[in-house]
Amino acid sequence: MAHAASAVESGAFELFLKQNLSKDLLRFTTAGSVDDGKSTLIGRLLHDSKAVYEDQLASIKKSRINRSTGPVDFSLLTDGLRAEREQGITIDVGYRYFATAKRKFIIADTPGHEQYTRNMATGASTADLAVILVDGTKGLLPQTLRHAYISSLLGIPSILAAINKMDLVDYSKERFLELEEEFFSLAEQLGIGNVQCIPVSALAGDNIIERSERTPWYSGPSLLEHLEAVPHAAAPRTKSFRFPVQYVVRPDANFRGFAGQVASGVVRLGDVVTALPSGRQSRIQSIVTYDGQLAEAFAPMSVTLQLEDEIDLSRGDMLVQQDSLPHVAKRCEATVVWMHAQPLSAGQNYLIKQTSRQVRGKITKIIHRVDIKSLEPEPAEQLQMNDIATVELETSRPLFFDAYRQNRTTGSFIIIDPLTNATLGAGMIQAPLPRSADRRSADPLPPVQSPESPVANIERYQRHGHYPAIYSTSQPALAKRLERQIFEEGFEAIVVDASQVSLLSARDSWAILYTAGFVVIYANPSLEPEERVELETVAGGRYFDLDTLNLSAEDADAARQVLLLAESLWTANERQEY
Amino acid sequence: MQVSQELFRGAAPGIGLSEVAVSTKHKLSHLKVLEAESIYILREAVAEFARPVMLYSIGKDSSVMLRLAQKAFYPGKIPFPLLHVDTSYKFPEMIEFRDQYTKEIGAELIVHQNHEALAAGANPFALGTQKCCGQLKTKSLLDALGEGGFDAAFGGARRDEEKSRAKERIYSFRDAQGQWDPKNQRPELWNIFNSRIDKGESIRIFPLSNWTELDVWLYIHTENIPIVPLYFAKEREVVVRGGSIVVITSPNQLLPGEKTQRMSCRMRSLGCMPCTGAIRSYACTVPEIIEEMISFRRSERENRAIDHDEEGSMEMKKREGYF
């Protein structure tokens, strides 16, 4: 068997290798149409950075079609589909690759014409930077606005405006400065912070790789220099640890690990993490990889985490930093890009896929559509393909999310048609919504202990000797009976009676007592479904609805039946119980 | 330019500079980012599909994909079988490597041949490369997927290999006939994949989509991944046929009038013996291959007849169900 390692004697290769293994990766998207010279620009980058191999070039020269004015039509390098070459347009997002000594680049090349919004959004979703082509002879066009808007919408932190065709405006400094100013004011309107304008000629190669002598008045970087230097800022902005569980690795009875990719933040051995939706906490026992155990893992590493406690956790759940929880909600406000010929209608049933979680959901309301030409909001009953709108989303089970602006991974979702299986649209979550309009709270999680609390939940539980739980019942008499019985079994038990509380709301009362580690018996003869969901969200597997049992206040062993519902509330016994 | 320099120093909207700065310590190299992405893709698919399979072609890309699968499910074993579509025209070294290596890592291997076509004498000289590939690869593959009831199949294709591949999704939807419709692909945003299919339909999944040929070689080197010896230069019996160097392993591969010569050469990509040309080379180690590659100006699929039959031929084959 031939093995792969045998170092070349000279140090040259080692140096080359070292350089190549320390490169980072920058993904960028290019927006514009053939007319703007976009494909020519990409072809130029690929060609001049020596990524175009001679035989590929030879086959283009052989091709029947040449829609450029130059001797080689660089756009044929990127338009990979037959229909694209024949019609002279870019139909779909194409991906291209090149590398320099400093970085490896992935270009998501998106069409400027047909279905521009859908394809631009797709290319932009993973990009760290957007290159927007501006035709120097035409100036900023409506599509420039669209491109910049979609880039900012999809959370691209940096924009590079390539003011192209400078050769056709005599490399005019005045023309460049004029367009630069226009572009800056556009970027400011859209709240895009990191903008660089560069005067280029893709056709003649000015300021693409090297700074051009034909623009001596320009002191900024060339396009490639900027691409090599731009900060790699598309990493999640939140530092909070988020780990959507993808898969449970369980090769035998002795190993149970949670496989996933760190979406944001860092996790270290011994860190306390909270599992969602159960809300239970545990510590990181080991960070397992094929290449050995690690002391820490950070985004975007793919690892397998083992916890100290055997808590219930599976695909679709999330491990998060205990003192910085994501939103847990069934309703949120989101911006949606619609991508299918079948229009979006409010109230229709869809599947929502967000991180590793897939739930049923619907758009309950189209708040407004964005007029892509003026960027003004306008009312809409339906959304058509390529429409962008702010909507209210409601899901059957809670999602765990951060605002898209803070975290692209936990803040994004796709919408799937449960009947045809088609991907219909994509969404970016802005904020959670209160569970219904008349409630004041925007966050269904209770005012749990503040992040600065010097006492960890687990410490409280250890002092009590048991975990908290919430039992709800429609029978206040049963609740009273249980309070005494469960207390006598050794638990800190207390009744919250919805008809008795006055100082705090019932919801606040059970939430606070649960946080403090009590076994809460919540008596409410008219429990609303929404509050039940909240109870589930807060207490997860530690919430039990006693109305599902046939219990009455007269039952002598009601407490025992009730306590059996939980696998174990005792902290000391827990590990043996499983 | 002053304005733009100002802005350049500023951070993206809504964040302070300090937050950006924090992340600089925890940085991964591009190869590690690619590795993490591929592992994520493999895990997603295994979690969501009932019966996935990995197309194992014995080539360098397959070798990398296999290593990534080992990593994705460690310390568990690879939770799906490997499928090799054997045209019977593969190099003996490939078969030997396949059997030995899959056994060594404890993977389940399925080998599938289109016996009917082979019995009818299918070969590239009689049928032409297109028809031969259609029978021995595409049809054989579709049959194997159907027989195994596989609803997802991993392939080692990279987007940098060929123009139509540059447009293909990581999750590539195939209808009940295994066909690809390039004009009607599902949008694919972020790293959220739509794995919903109806009975009979399937998804081809390409975990190496964003890798380049250089990435693959760098990874083979740093990870010490075993590969078929044919990739390394050695004196071999060859004939020069139609401009390409064809390695001859038995005299019945010679066409009338052909005579072999000895040449130091190696394979840049592995396919069927009659249709995969070798290149002149003295590169005997992975670093030497990498060195050769970067000074090299011809793309790796050039020596594969199938891509060059007519303009857009790979797209045509993919539409019909080819990987």
Q: Which two tokens stand for residue A77?
A: 């390098």
Q: Any idea which architecture A242-321 has in CATH?
A: Beta Barrel (2.40)
Whether A63 has a pLDDT exceeding 90, the answer reads no
SS3 call for A438 = coil
Chain-centroid distance of CA B3 in Å reads 47
Count of CB contacts below 8 A, A vs B?
Answer: 281
Q: Are A111 and A90 in contact (CB under 8 A)?
A: yes
Preferred mutation among B17, B194, B300, B301 to probe A, highest tally of A CBs within 10 A: B194
> H/E element holding A117?
helix A116-124
With contact defined as beta carbons under 8 Å apart, do A296 and A241 qualify?
A: no
Interface test with B, best of A28, A174, A261 (most B CBs within 10 A): A261
Task: Report d(CA A278, CA B191) in Å as an integer.
Answer: 25
* pLDDT given for residue A272 in this prediction: 94
Q: Domain A457-577 classified CATH 3.30.70?
A: no
Nearest CB partner across the interface for B226, out of A2, A8, A298? A2
* Residue B73: closest CA among A304, A231, A167, A562: A304
Q: Which residues of B touch A81 (CB under 8 A)?
A: 163-164, 167, 182-183, 312, 315
Q: What is the DSSP letter of B137?
A: I
Residue found under tokens 């996933």:
A260
Inform me whether the pLDDT recorded for A482 exceeds 80: yes
Q: What pLDDT digit, counting tens, does each position of A84-136 carry?
A: 555 555 567 888 888 887 889 999 988 766 567 888 899 999 999 999 999 99
Between the CA of residue A484 and those of A571, B30, B229, what are the distances in Å?
21, 62, 77
Report how far apart, in Å, the C-alpha atoms of A35 and of each of A81, A135, A183, B210 are: 19, 8, 19, 28
- Scan for tokens 């309703």, then name that residue: A331
Question: Do A11-229 and A457-577 show the same overall fold?
Answer: yes
Would you call B74 and A354 a contact, using CB atoms and an 8 Å cutoff? no
Predicted confidence (pLDDT) per residue in A419-467, tens digit: 999 999 999 999 988 755 433 333 444 445 565 677 877 778 878 878 8
Q: Which helix (H) or strand (E) holds B278?
A: strand B278-280
What is the average per-residue pLDDT within A329-348?
93
Query: A291 CB near a chain B CB, below 8 Å?
Result: yes
Q: What pLDDT sits at residue A124?
A: 93
Which token pair is A196? 């660089």
Longest dimension (CA), chain A: 95
- CB-nearest partner of A220 from B1, B14, B227: B1
Burial of A291 (0-12, 13-18, 19+ CB in 10 A): exposed
Helix (H, G, I), strand (E, B) or coil at A574: helix
**Average pLDDT, stretch B287-302?**
69
Domain ranges of chain A: 11-229, 242-321, 327-432, 457-577
CB A51 within 8 A of CB A44: no
Q: Which one-letter DSSP state was computed for residue B295?
A: T
Domains detected in chain B: 30-214+312-320 (3.40.50.620), 228-308 (no CATH)
Q: Do A235 and B23 touch (CB under 8 A)?
A: yes
B6 has pLDDT over 60: no
Q: Does domain A11-229 have CATH number 3.10.310.30?
A: no
Residue of B3, B7, B294 to mutate for A, most A C-beta atoms under 10 A: B7
In this prediction, residue B16 has a pLDDT band, given cuts at 50, 70 and 90, of very low
Helices of type H across A465-528:
476-488, 506-515
State mean pLDDT over B197-205: 92
Q: What is the dihedral of CA B13, B15, B19, B21, to 10 degrees?
A: 30
Measure in Å the smallest separation between the Cα of B145 and chain A Cα atoms. Answer: 21
Backbone torsions φ then ψ of B165, nearest 5 degrees: -70, -30
Tokens 């499928």 correspond to B83
Give CA separation, B28 vs A245, A300, A473, B184, in Å.
21, 8, 52, 35
A118-127, B34-43, B213-222 — which one is most confidently predicted on average?
B34-43
State whether A194 and B225 contact (CB < 8 Å): no
Minimum distance, in Å, between the CA of residue A163 and any CA atom of chain B:
14
Q: Which residues of chain B are within 8 Å of residue A294 when distances are taken between CB atoms?
A: none
Is residue A37 within 8 A of residue A203, CB to CB? The reply is yes
Q: Look at residue B268 in the predicted model and tell me its pLDDT.
A: 87
| Strands (E) located in B75-116 | 82-85, 109-112
pLDDT the model gives residue B27: 83
A27 band by pLDDT with thresholds 50, 70 and 90: very high
Average pLDDT over residues B125-139: 85
Alpha-carbon gap: B50 to the closest alpha carbon of chain A (Å): 14
CATH class of A327-432: mainly beta
